Amino acid sequence: MCMKSWFSKNWLFVAVSLVIVLAVAVFTRCYLYAALPGEMERLVEPVHSILEDIGSATDEINASLDEVKEEQAAIKNELDSLKSDLDSARSEIVDIQEEIAVLEAAPPTIIREVVQASTPAASKPSVPAKPESEAPGVSQSKPEAKSEAPAPASTRGYSSTAEAEILRLTNQMRKDAGLGELTVDAKLSALARERAVEITELYSHTRPNGTTVSDLGYGENLVYRRSVSSAFTSWVESPSHLKNIMLSGVKRIGIGAYKADDGMIYFTQVFAY
């Protein structure tokens, strides 16, 4: 009852108050709609700046990582090159050690002759002596003729049997490794035999005239031993010599085996594509 009395007396005040509240609400809403986008931009702008900085930093980090990767690749290549040089140096050291061992085992006198057998000197025909007359009752003994001991036959010369065995062992090893067999080349064989004789005097890949077989584009293996098996084993146990034997591109070969008077055999292999 009291409330109705109060509303009836103050209805105008209430109505004006409601209008004011609604006006304030409308104004506030309009203000917020108008001011909010700008405020949001002001708040988001630092975030965008931070994200851009992070992006720039990420790009710099990626660029640095790429540089580090490139440097690592360059270092790896250098290490591979150094490793390859080290392997080559080790192979050369092995070759030098082998040559030193061979030179230490070399016979004191090395013969250079190429002739397979010496021609025996012609002997003069013996002229029978006239019998001397003996005095009756006197017995005179005739002096016995001295017979000279025949000179020992020379054993030096090329050994076709040894050359054939070297060829067989070489092709057998290549065949076991799945490589093609080598064909004997007459020109290379002549060169190999010539080199076999040369190394009886100068055991080196450098020839007496200062040239090398490699100057002709060929590969070469040298060794001297008293048997084919020990010679071939020496090549197989040497990485550089074994490499020549097992080259996949090699098609032709020449082999020389020259036996000196002391029984030492000088072996050579000449390889060509």
Least confident interval from 66-80, 188-202, 223-237: 66-80
Q: What is the mean pLDDT of residues 18-32?
A: 81
Least confident interval from 13-17, 51-55, 145-149, 203-207: 145-149
Quick check: 167 pLDDT over 80?
Answer: yes
pLDDT digits (tens, 9 = 90+) for 82-110: 776 777 677 667 667 665 654 554 444 33
Rg (CA), the chain: 52
115 contact partners, CB below 8 Å, separation of at least 6: 156, 157
The span from the CA of 76 to the CA of 148, in Å, is 77
Q: Which amino acid, 1?
A: M
- Tell me how crowded residue 13 is: count the other CB atoms within 10 A of its CB: 11
The span from the CA of 201 to the CA of 106, in Å, is 11
Strand partners, 21: none
Global confidence as pTM: 0.46
Asked whether the beta carbons of 235 and 217 are under 8 A apart, the reply is: no
Q: What is the mean pLDDT of the chain?
A: 78
Q: How confident is the model at residue 3 (pLDDT cuts 50, 70, 90)?
A: low
| Strand, coil or helix: 52 | helix
Alpha-carbon torsion (78, 80, 84, 90), positive or negative: positive
Quick check: 201 pLDDT over 70?
Answer: yes
Strand partners, 225: 265
Q: How confident is the model at residue 179 (pLDDT cuts 50, 70, 90)?
A: very high
pLDDT of residue 52: 82
pLDDT of residue 72: 83
Cα 49 to chain centroid, rounded: 58
The span from the CA of 271 to the CA of 251, in Å, is 8
Q: What is the mean pLDDT of residues 154-174?
A: 92
Quick check: 119 pLDDT over 70?
Answer: no
| Strand, coil or helix: 223 | strand
Nearest to 159 by CA among 226, 230, 241, 253: 226
42 or 50, higher pLDDT: 50
